[in-house]
Amino acid sequence: AQSVSQHNHHVILSEAASLELGCNYSYGGTVNLFWYVQYPGQHLQLLLKYFSGDPLVKGIKGFEAEFIKSKFSFNLRKPSVQWSDTAEYFCALRGANNLFFGTGTRLTVIP
Amino acid sequence: ETGVTQSPTHLIKTRGQQVTLRCSSQSGHNTVSWYQQALGQGPQFIFQYYREEENGRGNFPPRFSGLQFPNYSSELNVNALELDDSALYLCASSLDGTSGANVLTFGAGSRLTVL
């Protein structure tokens, strides 16, 4: 069965700190992976996606993620966070015709 | 291009009642999916509609039903509401429901509270 795990429930960082949010998936086939962000009061927005090719994918707002097949991971990174990055972050795995989401990680950035 | 719009944004119902939520897909998108996001959880897939037919369903009982119209807009209907149905209901649209690589565009959601 396909599933996604996000073990960091709440992360608190100061501005300019580096960020890494963990995402592990369970699936033995070809994977399509996504990171979505949900800013307070706003809808889910796509940060980045991995379908194939270069395992290091770059997204919007300086975010990047690395697909490591041997570790079943797709961690999200940003070298220097800003207060405006405060949001809920969701990792997702593509199913046959749906997305499997993790439980999300709430990021709080302190000015 | 217009995004995904949902209505109503908030509503309150009592147990046993029925509710209908509406969604207009992004211009050019022909596939609509519905997700339930309970408090503190990630979105859970309810079902997907492509060309007016349901072509995928998650682990939700039959009292969750839907429709897709010729203009690709969609409705989610929930009968016999239960307290656990309280959640944010998200609609997402995409192009070509049969493609595994399409990207979903989400609406802001309808927040349902069941008392």
A66: its two tokens:
């690395």
Tell me the chain A residues in contact with residue B107 when contact means C-beta distances shorter than 8 Å: 43
Q: How confident is the model at residue A41 (pLDDT cuts 50, 70, 90)?
A: confident
**Min distance B21 CA to chain A CA atoms (Å):** 16
Q: How confident is the model at residue A32 (pLDDT cuts 50, 70, 90)?
A: very high
Q: How confident is the model at residue B99 (pLDDT cuts 50, 70, 90)?
A: low
Tell which residue, B77, B71, B69, has the closest CA to residue B2. B71
A92: its two tokens:
């997702």
Mean pLDDT, to the nearest integer, of B63-81?
96
**Min distance A28 CA to chain B CA atoms (Å):** 16
Tell me if chain B has a CB within 8 Å of the CB of A25: no
Question: Burial, A96: exposed, middle or buried (Cβ in 10 Å; 0-12, 13-18, 19+)?
Answer: exposed
Say whether pLDDT at A13 is over 70: yes
- For residue B33, give the amino acid letter: S
Tell which residue, B109, B11, B38, B26, has the closest CA to residue B73. B26
CB under 8 Å to A45, separation ≥6 — which residues? A36, A37, A38, A39, B106
Rounded alpha-carbon distances, angstroms, from residue B87 to A62, A63, B9, B66, B84: 31, 29, 12, 17, 8
Q: How confident is the model at residue B101 (pLDDT cuts 50, 70, 90)?
A: low
Nearest CA in chain A to B38: A103
Tell me the chain A residues in contact with residue B51 when contact means C-beta distances shorter than 8 Å: none
Tell which residue, A61, A57, A58, A44, has the closest CA to residue A99. A44
* Element of type H or E holding B31: strand B31-37
Nearest CA in chain B to A90: B42
- Is B73:B66 a contact under the CB 8 Å cutoff? no
Burial A27-36 (b: 16+ CB within 10 A, else e): beeebbbbbb
Size of interface A-B (CB pairs under 8 A): 61
- Is B27:B115 a contact under the CB 8 Å cutoff? no
pLDDT at B98: 54
Question: Distance between CA atoms of B31 and B94, rounded to whole angstroms?
Answer: 5
For B70, the 3-state DSSP assignment is: coil
Contact check, Cβ <8 Å, A103/B42:
yes
